[in-house]
Structure 1
Amino acid sequence: MIAFFYETDFLIPNEELWKKWILSAVEKEGFQTDEINYIFCDDEYLLQINIEYLQHDYYTDVIGFQYSEGNSLSGDIYISIDRIRENAIENNVSFEKELARVIIHGILHFMNYKDKTDEQAVEMRNIEDKYLSFFDEIN
């Protein structure tokens, strides 16, 4: 099950389409979902989570807390809509495309993809691009 929650005035359009896309990516990677919660918030909300739980005092676009065991994914993924808007402008992409990138990025971490090293970051970006192309097809 995938659920969307809102701690800001943003609402994701056509939630069912987005959920279908996320589930498709999870299944293609050989996983299934148990309970995945996406929480959309603003910069200050996510900054407080970053400070309190990760001891990082800086803004970020996404933070995930994974509760998974085995191939059944479970967790909470917090996404700053403020960061998405700024990143979209900086990267010269649409808001929707940047939102999709961050949504898939968060759940890829739950599927054991890392991005700490340059090599891992390249692999992560490649797999993000793969699923973004699928999003374009269904959108």
Structure 2
Amino acid sequence: MSNTSEIFFHKEDISFRFLHKEQIIQWIKEVAKKEKKSIGYINYIFCSDNYLLELNKDYLNHKTLTDIITFDNSDGTLIESDIFISIERIRDNATRFETTFQLELYRVLIHGVLHLCGYKDKKEEEKNLMREKENKYVTLLNTKYNVPRGTK
């Protein structure tokens, strides 16, 4: 494996234009570093609800819709992962949580990375810490990397 981290963005069964790739890549690398991790590779795969539902059923035995599934192939402090994100869930959740699509997308992007850094979100205190970290790092994306939060 090389010493350079690789972060890729793919789409599976949808049409989707992902903006601000270079800034997002730098942001993700910085978050990993702040959490004392390094990135070997992350493949983000944007897909539909149905595509992610099938993965959820096949690999996790869950029969519910979800916004993200993170497959962790990490070793020690080296992050390696495939992260699947339903763009339909992001849109619906943005409406439900009264936020922008972009902001919800960034929150979910970093949510997956935080899981890879060891954070959990099953218990209430874990969820609160995860949300605090998400908010902190999304603010960093906006302020340091000048990535807009989008408009409702």
TM-score interval for Structure 1 and Structure 2 normalised by the shorter chain: over 0.9
2:118 — aligned with what?
112
The alignment-based identity, stated in percent, is: 42
Residue from 34, 37, 43 that aligns with 1:31 = 37
1:72 — aligned with what?
78
2:17 — aligned with what?
11
Structure 1: 4+ residue segments shifted above 6 A: none
CA distance, structure 2, for counterparts of residue 24 and residue 35 of structure 1: 14
CA distance, structure 1, for counterparts of residue 48 and residue 127 of structure 2: 25
Name the aligned partner's letter for residue 81 of structure 1: I
Cα deviations across residues 84-109 of structure 1 (Å, max 9, x unaligned)?
00000111111000000000001110
Q: Scaled by the length of structure 1, what TM-score is found?
A: 0.98
Aligned residues: 139
2:62 — aligned with what?
56
Cα deviations across residues 25-74 of structure 1 (Å, max 9, x unaligned)?
11111110001110000100000000000000010000000000111100
CA distance, structure 1, for counterparts of residue 74 and residue 45 of structure 2: 17
Q: The residue matched to 2:75 in structure 1 has which SS?
A: coil
Q: Which runs of 5+ in 1 are unaligned?
A: none
Q: Scaled by the length of structure 2, what TM-score is found?
A: 0.90
Structure (1 or 2) with the greater helix fraction: 1
How far is 1:14 from its partner?
Answer: 2.2
